[in-house]
Structure 1
Amino acid sequence: MKKLFSLLMILGIFAFGFNAAAQDSPAVVDGQAVSDTTAAAQEPDPYPEDAEYEIAEEEQSFDQIIKDKFIEGDPQFMSPVLICLILGLAIAIERIISLNLSTTNTQKLLSKVEDALESGGVEAAKEVTKSTRGPVASIFTQGLMRMSEGIEMVEKSVIAYGSVEMGRLERGLVWISLFISLAPMLGFMGTVIGMIGAFDAIEAAGDISPSLVAGGIKVALLTTVAGLIVAIILQLFYNYCVSKIDSIVNSMEDASISLVDLLVKHKLTK
């Protein structure tokens, strides 16, 4: 029994030593021994330096690109264009919010006014219009306040107050239009100044070389592009505001005619 146990131990020691020797022995390629380090060195690099550079360049954020272009375009010329964008967007967003809040369901309002006239008369209709937000309700209130003076005065009052409400709706659009015109002008001014600087550099050097004029031309192009982008963005907001105002004005006109018809009907049935 002891001999069998001793034999198994000897066989285990030999097996362990053979495995260790096999792991330490160099690899054989085409009859030649090659070390692990050499074999690893011969393997191609799956991530070469160029690929790493391309990956890093692709991962550059959009904000960082805009910031770099802003600095390359010279903040002295890009800052006024950026100010036009910020102020124009602020006014446009305020107008969009105000115009959306001014939108009224005219059919629903007319139905409430008609029910109020039938149940409580003109005073009840005034309470309905005063509790409703929007220019249409304000026009209705103004017309109902003139009901005691006759239908003709109601029509004149509605027309006059409609002009006032239309002026309120168009408030601020002139500033958006100003920034739409001003942003490209500032961009073109940066273009002209950049080109003047480029020609001054050519005159001072007495020779034309791409590296000499590239800086001024780059500033010129970047400021022009920035001004055009700002004008395009603000123009989209401006057109939306104009279309919204036209829609509200049409609703005001239709609702005013319907209000006069309701008051005439109420006066005849009274």
Structure 2
Amino acid sequence: MTLLFFQTTDSVNKIIDTAKHAGVQMAQAPDQEIHFGDLIIKGGWVMIPIGILAVLGLVIFFERYFTIRKASKNESNLMIQVRSSIHTGNLESAIAICRNSNTPLGRMLQKGLLRIGRPIKDIEGAIENVGKLEVSKLEKNIGILGIVAGIAPMFGFLGTIIGVIKIFFDISKTDNFSIGVISGGLYVKMITSAAGLTVGIVAYVGYHILNMMVERLILNLETDAIEFIDLLEEPSK
């Protein structure tokens, strides 16, 4: 009975010592934190084209956004001034007002005013041609943003595939098929997929935002152009 008691006590002491030793090791182990810069570096060379696409997409989006927003400002005051000048017969004043506005609508109306005296169809055609040219200027480089949205995720998947190939190549050389080797290398290479998808999603959203802004602007320009043509037809009624 006494021997059994001492054996039990000895086992308990061993368990306590083991637990203490494990606790000391855990306390001494350095904390592993994931840093954004480290992830980018571990992503490999594929992160370079993804980063270039990200910068390119942001530059195009903000440049087009502010350009379209400036062109989309309310031009009701311009229409009022042009209408007033036409009613008083002062076409030179109306042309000067449109020229000084320096907006797509101003350039469209200026072209129409310069065609006054010709058939109304010619005036409509001139305004429409200028409108198409203005819209083409506003849509400049928006297509590139759509390309960024398409190829950025592809670069991400390419990085992951390259990483998987490298993992299995290393396994074939070292014959080390441990979970640590596979999961560690794979999570590093999945960084490229996450980065590529992030850039692609942001570019995709930005692309459609700009397109919606352009479509809204086109609708406003068409509405103002119709109002201008109606204004020119008033004296002949």
Q: Which TM-score applies when normalising by structure 1?
A: 0.72
| Residue type at the aligned position of 1:131 | N
Which residue, out of 135, 152, 163, partners 2:121?
152
- The ranges of structure 1 where at least 4 consecutive aligned residues each deviate by more than 3 angstroms after the TM superposition are none
The alpha-carbon deviation at position 221 of structure 1 amounts to 0.7
Q: State the alpha-carbon separation in 1 of the partners of residues 49 and 74 from structure 2.
A: 42
Q: State the alpha-carbon separation in 1 of the partners of residues 232 and 89 from structure 2.
A: 13
Which residue, out of 90, 94, 117, partners 2:63?
94
After superposition, the C-alpha distances for 1:132-165 in whole angstroms (9 at most, x for unaligned) are: 1321111111111111212121111111221111
SS across alignment from 1:147 = coil
1:103-118 correspondence to structure 2 within 5 Å = 103-118=72-87
Query: Which of the pair has more CA radius of gyration?
Result: 1
Q: State the alpha-carbon separation in 1 of the partners of residues 102 and 220 from structure 2.
A: 14
Q: Does 1:67 align with 2:28?
A: no
- Answer whether contact 1:92 1:176 (CA < 8 A) is retained: yes
Match of 1:173 in 2: 142
The alpha-carbon deviation at position 99 of structure 1 amounts to 0.6
Q: Does 1:243 align with 2:208?
A: no
Match of 2:180 in 1: 211
SS across alignment from 1:131 = helix
| Residue type at the aligned position of 1:168 | K
Match of 2:11 in 1: none
- Answer whether contact 1:102 1:134 (CA < 8 A) is retained: yes
Q: State the alpha-carbon separation in 2 of the partners of residues 85 and 115 from structure 1.
A: 49
Runs of 5+ consecutive residues of structure 1 not aligned to the other structure: 1-48, 58-63
After superposition, the C-alpha distances for 1:83-108 in whole angstroms (9 at most, x for unaligned) are: 10001111111101111111132322
1:121-270 correspondence to structure 2 within 5 Å = 121-265=90-234, 267-268=235-236
- Answer whether contact 2:152 2:199 (CA < 8 A) is retained: yes
| Residue type at the aligned position of 1:248 | L
The alpha-carbon deviation at position 204 of structure 1 amounts to 1.5
- Answer whether contact 1:116 1:128 (CA < 8 A) is retained: no
Q: State the alpha-carbon separation in 1 of the partners of residues 35 and 72 from structure 2.
A: 40
CA-atom RMSD in angstroms:
2.1
Q: State the alpha-carbon separation in 2 of the partners of residues 224 and 263 from structure 1.
A: 58
